[in-house]
């Protein structure tokens, strides 16, 4: 017990003596080098265990969707394909019976000037009976 205390005490004294003799710039240099090495190691570990894009797994029945225009099952488009529509406008329609027609006219007029393909999706939760005009 006394021997362990003596060695621990001696090591502590040795470290204090070394730190008192060491130049503060050297301590800062080695400390910052250790910190940079630690950050780089963490970055390498994170890069090694993560993927850049999520892995999307689909079941066989999820590979197609029913297209009401052609009345056939079509494959879902890939993210690497060119888009068929330039803009998708999603409009919430809850209690908007007064504002919605004017807003839709303005939006359609603006989008027609852009000469682009677009779709307007009006979303209503169906609670308000006033929105049945859509």
Q: How far is CA 75 from CA 58, 64, 82, in A?
A: 12, 4, 15
Give the pLDDT confidence score for residue 7 in this predicted structure.
59
Q: What is the mean pLDDT of the chain?
A: 80
CB 129 within 8 A of CB 97: no
Residue 111 has pLDDT above 70, yes or no: yes
Stated length of the chain: 134
Calpha distance 74→72 (Å, rounded): 6
Q: Is 131 exposed, middle or buried (0-12, 13-18, 19+ CB in 10 A)?
A: middle
- The answer, as to whether pTM is greater than 0.85, is no
Looking at the chain, list the stretches that DSSP marks H as alpha helix, in order from N- to C-terminal side: 2-21, 24-49, 100-114
What does the domain layout of the chain look like in residue ranges? 2-49, 81-133
Residue range 97-110, pLDDT digits in tens? 788 888 999 999 99
Phi, psi of 96 (to 5 degrees): -120, 25
Give the pLDDT confidence score for residue 21 in this predicted structure.
62
Percent of the chain with pLDDT over 70: 81
């Amino acid at each position: 017990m006394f021997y362990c205390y003596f060695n621990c005490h001696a090591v502590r004294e040795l470290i204090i003596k070394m730190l008192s003799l060491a130049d503060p710039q050297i301590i800062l240099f080695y400390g910052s080098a250790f910190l940079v090495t630690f950050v780089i190691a963490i970055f390498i570990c994170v890069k090694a265990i993560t993927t850049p894009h999520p892995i999307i797994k689909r079941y066989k029945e999820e590979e197609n969707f029913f297209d009401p225009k052609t009345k056939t099952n079509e494959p879902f488009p890939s993210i690497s394909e060119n888009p068929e529509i330039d803009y998708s406008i999603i409009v919430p329609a809850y209690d908007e019976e007064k504002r919605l027609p004017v807003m839709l006219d303005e939006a359609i007029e603006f989008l027609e000037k852009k000469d682009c393909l677009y779709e307007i999706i009006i979303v209503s939760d169906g609670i308000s009976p006033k929105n049945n005009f859509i």
